Chain A
Protein backbone atom coordinates (compact mmCIF):
# COMPACT_ATOMS: atom_id res chain seq x y z
CA UNK A 1 0.00 0.00 0.00
CA UNK A 2 0.80 3.73 0.05
CA UNK A 3 1.83 4.29 -3.54
CA UNK A 4 2.45 7.73 -5.02
CA UNK A 5 2.58 8.11 -8.78
CA UNK A 6 4.38 11.05 -10.35
CA UNK A 7 4.09 11.92 -14.00
CA UNK A 8 5.93 12.52 -16.24
CA UNK A 9 9.19 10.92 -15.18
CA UNK A 10 11.17 12.99 -17.67
CA UNK A 11 10.33 16.10 -19.63
CA UNK A 12 12.29 18.40 -21.91
CA UNK A 13 10.82 21.79 -22.69
CA UNK A 14 11.86 24.98 -24.40
CA UNK A 15 12.65 28.16 -22.51
CA UNK A 16 9.59 30.26 -21.91
CA UNK A 17 7.11 27.43 -21.92
CA UNK A 18 5.26 25.94 -18.96
CA UNK A 19 5.40 22.40 -17.69
CA UNK A 20 2.90 20.61 -15.46
CA UNK A 21 3.89 17.76 -13.15
CA UNK A 22 1.25 15.54 -11.57
CA UNK A 23 1.42 13.76 -8.24
CA UNK A 24 -1.23 11.18 -7.36
CA UNK A 25 -1.74 9.06 -4.28
CA UNK A 26 -3.08 5.82 -5.74
CA UNK A 27 -4.41 3.93 -2.75
CA UNK A 28 -4.92 6.48 -0.03
CA UNK A 29 -6.20 9.98 0.52
CA UNK A 30 -3.39 12.37 1.29
CA UNK A 31 -4.01 14.99 3.91
CA UNK A 32 -1.07 16.99 2.69
CA UNK A 33 1.30 16.89 -0.27
CA UNK A 34 4.76 18.37 -0.44
CA UNK A 35 6.91 19.42 -3.39
CA UNK A 36 10.70 19.22 -3.40
CA UNK A 37 13.43 20.14 -5.82
CA UNK A 38 16.82 18.46 -6.00
CA UNK A 39 19.89 19.67 -7.88
CA UNK A 40 22.72 17.28 -8.78
CA UNK A 41 24.68 16.01 -5.79
CA UNK A 42 22.52 17.99 -3.40
CA UNK A 43 19.82 17.08 -0.93
CA UNK A 44 16.11 17.57 -1.41
CA UNK A 45 14.94 21.13 -0.88
CA UNK A 46 11.36 21.64 0.24
CA UNK A 47 9.54 24.05 -2.04
CA UNK A 48 5.98 24.09 -0.78
CA UNK A 49 3.28 22.41 1.27
CA UNK A 50 -0.06 21.74 -0.36
CA UNK A 51 -3.40 21.01 1.28
CA UNK A 52 -6.52 20.03 -0.63
CA UNK A 53 -8.77 22.97 -1.33
CA UNK A 54 -6.48 25.64 0.03
CA UNK A 55 -3.57 27.72 -1.16
CA UNK A 56 -0.13 26.21 -0.99
CA UNK A 57 2.39 27.42 1.55
CA UNK A 58 5.73 28.21 -0.06
CA UNK A 59 9.13 28.04 1.59
CA UNK A 60 11.18 31.17 1.82
CA UNK A 61 12.80 32.06 -1.47
CA UNK A 62 10.45 30.01 -3.65
CA UNK A 63 8.50 32.11 -6.13
CA UNK A 64 4.83 31.25 -5.89
CA UNK A 65 4.04 32.83 -9.26
CA UNK A 66 6.66 30.72 -10.95
CA UNK A 67 5.81 27.43 -9.29
CA UNK A 68 2.03 27.13 -9.33
CA UNK A 69 0.59 24.41 -7.14
CA UNK A 70 -2.96 23.15 -7.43
CA UNK A 71 -4.36 20.59 -5.02
CA UNK A 72 -7.82 19.89 -6.37
CA UNK A 73 -8.53 16.63 -4.55
CA UNK A 74 -7.22 14.44 -1.77
CA UNK A 75 -5.41 12.30 -4.32
CA UNK A 76 -4.00 14.80 -6.81
CA UNK A 77 -1.63 17.73 -6.63
CA UNK A 78 0.00 19.43 -9.59
CA UNK A 79 3.08 21.62 -9.89
CA UNK A 80 3.33 23.91 -12.90
CA UNK A 81 6.66 25.48 -13.68
CA UNK A 82 5.73 28.64 -15.58
CA UNK A 83 7.95 30.39 -18.10
CA UNK A 84 10.65 27.82 -17.54
CA UNK A 85 14.31 28.75 -17.90
CA UNK A 86 17.43 26.58 -17.98
CA UNK A 87 18.10 27.28 -14.30
CA UNK A 88 14.77 25.57 -13.49
CA UNK A 89 16.21 22.32 -14.77
CA UNK A 90 16.15 20.00 -11.81
CA UNK A 91 14.71 16.84 -10.29
CA UNK A 92 11.24 17.54 -8.83
CA UNK A 93 9.81 15.15 -6.26
CA UNK A 94 6.44 15.07 -4.56
CA UNK A 95 5.44 13.47 -1.30
CA UNK A 96 2.02 12.58 0.05
CA UNK A 97 1.27 12.15 3.72
CA UNK A 98 -1.46 10.47 5.72
CA UNK A 99 -2.06 9.72 9.39
CA UNK A 100 -0.34 6.51 10.50
CA UNK A 101 -1.06 5.48 14.04
CA UNK A 102 -0.01 8.37 16.25
CA UNK A 103 2.30 9.77 13.60
CA UNK A 104 2.29 10.29 9.86
CA UNK A 105 3.41 8.26 6.88
CA UNK A 106 5.18 10.05 4.05
CA UNK A 107 5.38 8.41 0.64
CA UNK A 108 7.44 9.89 -2.16
CA UNK A 109 6.92 9.82 -5.88
CA UNK A 110 9.63 8.60 -8.22
CA UNK A 111 10.47 12.12 -9.32
CA UNK A 112 10.39 14.16 -12.52
CA UNK A 113 13.56 15.11 -14.33
CA UNK A 114 12.96 18.50 -15.96
CA UNK A 115 15.36 19.79 -18.58
CA UNK A 116 14.80 23.26 -20.00
CA UNK A 117 16.61 23.96 -23.26
Chain B
Protein backbone atom coordinates (compact mmCIF):
# COMPACT_ATOMS: atom_id res chain seq x y z
CA UNK B 1 0.00 0.00 0.00
CA UNK B 2 1.24 3.50 -0.81
CA UNK B 3 1.94 5.38 2.39
CA UNK B 4 1.06 8.99 2.94
CA UNK B 5 2.77 11.65 5.03
CA UNK B 6 0.88 14.63 6.41
CA UNK B 7 1.74 17.36 8.90
CA UNK B 8 0.51 16.56 12.38
CA UNK B 9 -1.40 19.80 12.75
CA UNK B 10 -2.11 23.13 11.08
CA UNK B 11 -3.85 26.35 12.00
CA UNK B 12 -5.87 28.51 9.65
CA UNK B 13 -7.65 31.82 10.10
CA UNK B 14 -11.37 31.82 9.54
CA UNK B 15 -12.25 33.00 6.06
CA UNK B 16 -8.84 32.23 4.65
CA UNK B 17 -7.92 29.33 2.42
CA UNK B 18 -6.67 26.20 4.16
CA UNK B 19 -4.02 24.31 2.20
CA UNK B 20 -3.35 20.82 3.49
CA UNK B 21 -0.38 18.99 1.95
CA UNK B 22 0.13 15.27 1.53
CA UNK B 23 3.12 13.31 0.31
CA UNK B 24 2.60 9.95 -1.38
CA UNK B 25 5.87 9.34 -3.16
CA UNK B 26 5.33 5.58 -3.59
CA UNK B 27 1.97 5.90 -5.30
CA UNK B 28 1.52 3.71 -8.35
CA UNK B 29 -0.05 4.71 -11.63
CA UNK B 30 -3.59 3.47 -11.04
CA UNK B 31 -3.98 4.41 -7.38
CA UNK B 32 -6.39 7.17 -6.45
CA UNK B 33 -5.90 9.81 -3.76
CA UNK B 34 -8.85 10.24 -1.40
CA UNK B 35 -9.44 12.91 1.20
CA UNK B 36 -11.73 12.49 4.18
CA UNK B 37 -12.24 14.43 7.34
CA UNK B 38 -13.45 13.42 10.76
CA UNK B 39 -15.06 15.64 13.31
CA UNK B 40 -14.85 14.38 16.85
CA UNK B 41 -16.86 11.23 17.54
CA UNK B 42 -18.34 11.05 14.06
CA UNK B 43 -17.69 8.84 11.06
CA UNK B 44 -15.32 10.13 8.36
CA UNK B 45 -16.86 12.46 5.78
CA UNK B 46 -15.88 12.23 2.13
CA UNK B 47 -14.35 15.38 0.68
CA UNK B 48 -12.84 14.64 -2.72
CA UNK B 49 -10.73 12.18 -4.67
CA UNK B 50 -8.64 12.15 -7.84
CA UNK B 51 -6.21 10.22 -9.97
CA UNK B 52 -3.97 12.69 -11.76
CA UNK B 53 -6.06 15.69 -12.81
CA UNK B 54 -6.97 18.48 -10.44
CA UNK B 55 -10.46 18.13 -9.06
CA UNK B 56 -12.95 20.59 -7.58
CA UNK B 57 -16.31 20.15 -5.94
CA UNK B 58 -18.54 22.18 -3.64
CA UNK B 59 -16.36 21.44 -0.63
CA UNK B 60 -12.78 21.67 -1.83
CA UNK B 61 -10.18 21.50 -4.56
CA UNK B 62 -7.57 18.80 -4.97
CA UNK B 63 -4.30 19.67 -6.62
CA UNK B 64 -2.13 16.69 -7.61
CA UNK B 65 1.43 17.28 -8.81
CA UNK B 66 2.38 16.13 -12.27
CA UNK B 67 4.55 13.31 -10.91
CA UNK B 68 1.67 12.36 -8.55
CA UNK B 69 4.00 12.14 -5.59
CA UNK B 70 2.15 14.76 -3.60
CA UNK B 71 -1.15 16.56 -3.45
CA UNK B 72 -2.79 19.50 -1.69
CA UNK B 73 -6.32 19.80 -0.44
CA UNK B 74 -7.63 23.34 -0.56
CA UNK B 75 -10.59 24.56 1.47
CA UNK B 76 -11.15 27.94 -0.18
CA UNK B 77 -12.81 29.79 2.70
CA UNK B 78 -12.32 27.95 5.96
CA UNK B 79 -14.95 28.24 8.68
CA UNK B 80 -14.90 27.18 12.32
CA UNK B 81 -16.91 24.11 11.33
CA UNK B 82 -14.01 22.93 9.17
CA UNK B 83 -11.99 22.20 12.31
CA UNK B 84 -11.38 18.44 12.04
CA UNK B 85 -8.82 15.74 11.36
CA UNK B 86 -8.12 15.51 7.63
CA UNK B 87 -6.96 12.23 6.16
CA UNK B 88 -5.16 11.80 2.86
CA UNK B 89 -5.41 8.20 1.69
CA UNK B 90 -4.06 6.37 -1.30
CA UNK B 91 -6.50 3.65 -2.22
CA UNK B 92 -4.97 0.24 -2.61
CA UNK B 93 -5.69 -1.45 -5.90
CA UNK B 94 -4.73 -4.77 -4.41
CA UNK B 95 -6.26 -6.66 -1.55
CA UNK B 96 -9.84 -5.54 -1.92
CA UNK B 97 -9.59 -1.83 -2.66
CA UNK B 98 -9.46 -0.99 1.02
CA UNK B 99 -8.83 2.45 2.48
CA UNK B 100 -6.04 2.46 5.05
CA UNK B 101 -5.96 5.55 7.22
CA UNK B 102 -2.79 7.28 8.37
CA UNK B 103 -2.49 9.70 11.24
CA UNK B 104 -3.99 12.66 9.38
CA UNK B 105 -3.67 16.40 9.96
CA UNK B 106 -5.51 18.19 12.74
CA UNK B 107 -6.76 21.42 11.21
CA UNK B 108 -7.75 24.14 13.65
CA UNK B 109 -9.65 27.04 12.17
CA UNK B 110 -9.43 30.07 14.43
CA UNK B 111 -11.50 33.24 14.52
Stretch of A11-19, A42-50, A61-69, A75-83 contacting B (4+ beta carbons < 8 Å): A42-50
Q: Is the CB of B104 within 8 A of A43?
A: yes
- Name A residues whose Cβ lies closer than 8 Å to a Cβ of B: 4, 6, 32, 34, 36, 43-46, 49, 51, 57, 91, 93, 95, 97, 102-111, 113
A29 CA to B79 CA, complexed, in Å: 34
Distance in angstroms from B24 CB to nearest chain A CB is 16
Distance in angstroms from B42 CB to nearest chain A CB is 6
Q: Is the CB of B43 within 8 A of A106?
A: no
A-B contact pairs, 30 of them (CB 8 A): A4-B43, A6-B43, A32-B97, A34-B99, A43-B87, A43-B101, A44-B44, A44-B101, A45-B101, A49-B95, A49-B96, A51-B96, A57-B95, A57-B96, A91-B41, A93-B44, A102-B51, A103-B49, A106-B34, A106-B99, A107-B46, A108-B36, A108-B43, A108-B44, A108-B45, A109-B43, A110-B42, A111-B42, A111-B43, A113-B41
Distance in angstroms from B65 CB to nearest chain A CB is 19
A45 CA to B101 CA, complexed, in Å: 7
B69 — which chain A residues lie within 8 A by C-beta? none
Given contacts A108-B45, A111-B43, contact A32 B96 (CB under 8 A): yes
A104 — which chain B residues lie within 8 A by C-beta? 91, 97
A49 CA to B96 CA, complexed, in Å: 7
